[in-house]
A and B are shown apart, each in its own frame.
Chain A
Amino acid sequence: MIQTKTLTVQIGAAQALRDISLSVSPGQRLGIVGESGSGKSMLGLALMGMLPQEAALLGQITIQGRDMTGANDAAWRALRARQIAMIFQEPMAALNPLRRVGDTVMDPLRQHLGLSQEQALNRAIALFDETGIQDPQAKIAAYPHSLSGGQRQRVLIALALACNPKLLIADEPTTALDAHVARRITDLLVRLSRNRGMALMFISHDLAAVARTVDDLAVMYGGEIVEAGPVAALLSTPRHPYTQGLLAARPPLEPGHLRRRLPVIPGTVPGLADLPPGCRFAGRCPVELPICATTRPPKTQLKNSHTAACHRLTTGTP
């Protein structure tokens, strides 16, 4: 239902996203992982048509068969809420402190679906119920400050679901929540996706949370997708050195391992303004070849839908 082809987002001289080609089919759950600054949030905003004004969008975005490249704000607004909805990282900040949460959720119901006040209220209560908010009748009239972080994220999910979107983009929905609550929110997202046949794009840097939520995974680095494929394949046989480093950097749970130093990927993510011309991972890569610094690695098709972009895969020395 959503396809991007060589999607590139240019902000000034910097390329925030480069040549992103991905597709999300109805009901599919896709995870996007990467470090801070890898462009994963930018990708979510690009798919919502909510890029900052100074950003230039190149390439192609197709949503429900409609080419959205160069679409104006009104065209995007027609898709938001009804086709694609989004939830954000900070449930504390994503609700207007001066409005009752029920009013916030009822806004799109009344404006887009044209429901009456009473219909919208009933629908909002049903949505609160669906997102697992206890005592929805009372919570409708609550102000954000009286709700917990988990409850607020549920309210925001209810808001996102209000107009039955075909795709929900969740931009780090659990980062601001503690592990226990985060687990229940991801479970809720999976359940909603299954029950509604709604596609889910789960953006996170929490590999464990992503692994139990999605079917397919795309690993982003420096504004590019470096490796993509089914979760199981990516986790068991990662082919890109960045993915391998990411997986190795997960803290193991066995008690004996706690005393060992955690492997880390050396260096930091390069700034968007000074990305290397070749492979963007060059300079930090443990298995770098001379060619990496100058030439961009091609996307290599591996088993099934598993793809990775690394020179090691084409030069035959993985």
Chain B
Amino acid sequence: MKQPAPIHLRLGLALVGMVTFVALLALVWTPYDVTLLEISAKFRPPSPENWLGTDQLGRDVLSLLMAGSVNSLAVAFASVGIGGSIGTALGLLASAKGGWVETTLMRLTDLGFAFPALLFAILLAAAFGPSLSNAIFAIAFINIPIFVRVARSAANQIWTRDFLRAGQAAGQTKWRLTLDHILPNIAAVLIVQATIEFAVAILAEAALSYLGLGAQPPLASWGRMLSQAQTLMYLAPQLAIYPGLCIIITVLGFGLLGDGLRDMTDPRLRQNRRPQSRRRQARP
């Protein structure tokens, strides 16, 4: 990977910033109410009134997409937040305790990895009925083993550092050492992982909603827009293209941002970057 890191970091930041801005805006304002159905106005082409036209029920597509961004980001935030916190806590516990606690947790983690995420979501939906919160739990669940592994391996590295021995010699408990010393020092790794998992979560939410296991009407969701547009593929292909593009842009944005952040925090990649940035400065 010889691409200069700042560019994809900046591009990722711009895309994520844009999507976040739109979502925040949609919280307080959308051009039209997305629950307002006006059948007589269905399949309108783009116009000054409806920038991206209307769908099969006469709803404003731009408003739907904006409201869908809120749904995507909220689901990703909640699921990565829940799964990441639980996973990190378990990873730190495994690292601090060592021994059979660590072995057991890591084997359970392997088991978690072996579990297909979509299957688990379908299982949840079958047991408790399809709902957005079940989708969130399912995505959170697949995040747990990922964060257990990342947190534990990063923490294990920090435990070998001298300042932990110094803290231990000062009579600090493992619990305090973990909070005061381990967690701040692995925060960068966790943030990078969370950013990448954000992209995965948005994709997973879209997939679950597409299958009807995620957001339920009248909640706007890109995945559900896609599945509804499927039957109208020949009549109004743009209805499938718009939410698809939104998903691509958001996933790409978080992916690039996560990659860029990782490159920034990885000293080996940082060293590769330095001469390149110097060359860029010398060119003009």
Q: Residues on A close to B: CB < 8 A?
A: 48, 50, 53, 77-78, 80-82, 85-90, 93-99, 104, 107-108, 111-112, 156, 159-160, 162-163
Contact = CB atoms under 8 A, between A and B. Distances in A.
A111 B177 CA distance: 12
A81 B162 contact: no
B17 interface: no
Contact of A53 (B99, B171, B181): B99
A159 B169 CA distance: 10
5 contacts: A81-B171, A93-B161, A96-B163, A107-B172, A112-B171
A15 B229 CA distance: 73
Interface string B149-179: 0000000000001110111111111001000
Interface string B76-113: 00000000000000000000001100000000000000
Given A96-B181, A96-B185, A99-B180, A108 B163 contact: no
B48 interface: no
B181 A111 contact: no
B184 interface: yes
B192 to A, nearest CB: 16
Given A93-B161, A111-B176, A99 B169 contact: no
B169 A50 contact: yes
Contacts of B99: 53
* Of A82, A94, A156, most B-chain CB atoms within 10 Å: A94
Interface in B227-245: none
A111 B180 CA distance: 13
A99 B166 CA distance: 13
A189 B175 CA distance: 31
A40 B203 CA distance: 56
A247 to B, nearest CB: 31
Given A81-B171, A94-B163, 19 more contacts: A48-B169, A77-B171, A77-B173, A80-B170, A85-B169, A88-B162, A93-B162, A94-B166, A96-B167, A96-B181, A96-B184, A97-B163, A98-B185, A99-B184, A104-B167, A108-B170, A111-B176, A156-B166, A160-B170
A286 B134 CA distance: 78
A81 B169 contact: yes
Contact of B168 (A53, A80, A90, A104): A80
Contact of B172 (A88, A90, A93, A111): A111
Nearest to B174: A73
Nearest to A77: B171
Nearest to B169: A86
Nearest to A50: B168
Nearest to B161: A93
A108 B168 contact: no
Interface of B: 98-99, 161-163, 165-173, 176, 180-181, 184-185
Contacts of A93: 161-163
A94 B185 contact: no
Most buried by A among B99, B169, B173, B184: B169
Contacts of B181: 96, 99
Given A99-B181, A99-B184, A107 B162 contact: no
Contacts of B167: 96, 104, 107
Contacts of B169: 48, 50, 80-81, 85-88, 160
A18 B180 CA distance: 36
6 tightest Cβ-Cβ pairs between the two chains A and B: A81-B171, A93-B162, A80-B171, A86-B169, A94-B162, A94-B166
B172 A53 contact: no
Given A99-B184, A107-B180, A159 B170 contact: yes
B170 A85 contact: yes
B176 A107 contact: yes
B208 to A, nearest CB: 38
Contact of B166 (A98, A159, A163): A159
A108 B171 contact: yes
A82 B161 CA distance: 23
A98 B170 CA distance: 18
B31 to A, nearest CB: 46
A93 B162 CA distance: 5
Contacts of B98: 53
Nearest to A74: B173
Contact of A162 (B162, B170, B180, B185): B170
Contacts of A88: 162, 165-166, 169
A96 B180 CA distance: 9
A47 B162 CA distance: 17
A156 B162 CA distance: 11
Contacts of A80: 168-171
Contacts of A87: 166, 169
A78 B172 CA distance: 10
A86 B173 CA distance: 16
Contacts of A53: 98-99
Given A96-B180, A96-B181, A96-B185, A163 B171 contact: yes
A95 B161 CA distance: 9
